[in-house]
Amino acid sequence: MKREQPGWAVVLACLAFFSLLPGALADLGPKPTAEAMLSVDGKPFQNALVSLQECVETAGGPNEDYSLGGLGAAQAWVSGNGVQALLRDEEGTEAVAPLQGRQLEKARAFVRPAWDAEKKCYWQPAYRAFAACEKAACTFTYMVPQAFRLTVLDLDSGAVFTSRELKRTGFNAVYEIGFDSGTGQGKAIETSLTGDWQLSLFVALLLATLVIELFVGALAAHFWLKRPARTFFVPVAIGNLASYPLVFFGLRALPAGFAEGLLLLELGAFALEAMVLKKMTGLTWKQALACSAGMNLASFAVGGLPLAFT
């Protein structure tokens, strides 16, 4: 009697393989994103610092420059190591960041924790919410808190502009924030991706996922199951066409605390693709689950990367 292929061993081997890849791989896959288009009196900022801040119980002091961005003239030196020196009040900051006198004092005060008597917490730059600014927009990703505010320091006038507290209602949030130079306050409007962009993104990521999973499935069929790779093409395609809409649109319907929901969506896709493989190829449950696990691990790690920047 022919021994059944060790399906679970393959599942474990796939998990071990991905865990042994460089540490950065653990950070791949979808990440929450907040994008803000900023203006003052309807015009873009010419020379400003932008900070995404969260309110924390204990003021730890800003120790990283990830959540700070630069608009206009400030973009050039903020993208270097100027902000890190600014945060730490290091000697020679003026040489790294072109600030001096009152301008430098304002910038250093801008990144220090600020007590909020009403909320009874300290506003300070968020931990590892990576900022990237270009023209009039800033994008924050990786560890974007569920609730935050955006503050802008106009380095030319010394004025500080503060938005209301914003709360992400979805995985990717897009805001238009127009500040008033008279009050220093900003009116925030949350928008979303347009239908056309959603459809284009869906098609692009579906094709990327199909290519990755067809490749991994073909390898499994040829080298492990010893059957023609082409026997996997149709089942894998059908499985993806059935499961990917579930993950893509389900992901956008998740609340801001998305981790548990994302896991359930991925498990649903994993089980659905395994069931299609079993029904259409005659694999055992162990073999089907093992193949589905390998394909989904690969597509989640690689196919999720573009989604992290949307």
Token readout for 98 is 């072109």
In tens, the pLDDT along 214-268 reads 999 999 999 999 999 999 999 999 999 998 888 777 766 655 445 566 678 888 8
Largest CA distance in the chain: 84
Q: Is the pLDDT of residue 27 over 50?
A: no
As a whole number, mean pLDDT of residues 142-154 equals: 88
Lowest average pLDDT, out of 92-96, 132-136, 276-280, goes to 92-96
Higher pLDDT, 170 or 210: 210
**Residue 226 CB coordination number (10 Å):** 8
| All domains in the chain, ordered by first residue | 33-191 (2.60.40), 195-307 (no CATH)
Q: Percent of the chain having pLDDT more than 90?
A: 28
Can you state the angle between helices 233-253 and 195-219, rounded to 10 degrees?
A: 140
Whole-angstrom distance, CA of residue 303 vs CA of residue 45: 35
Distances (CA, A) of 78 to 98, 102, 155: 10, 18, 13
Q: SS3 for 55?
A: strand
Q: Per this entry, what is the length of the chain?
A: 310
Whole-angstrom distance, CA of residue 10 vs CA of residue 202: 30
pLDDT band at 273 (very low <50, low <70, confident <90, very high): very high
Whole-angstrom distance, CA of residue 75 vs CA of residue 103: 16
Higher pLDDT, 242 or 190: 242
Do the beta carbons of residue 69 and residue 43 sit within 8 Å?
A: no
In tens, the pLDDT along 38-78 reads 999 989 999 999 999 999 888 875 456 678 889 998 888 88
In tens, the pLDDT along 108-128 reads 888 888 899 999 999 988 877
Q: Is the pLDDT of residue 17 over 70?
A: no
Q: Which pLDDT belongs to residue 26?
A: 34
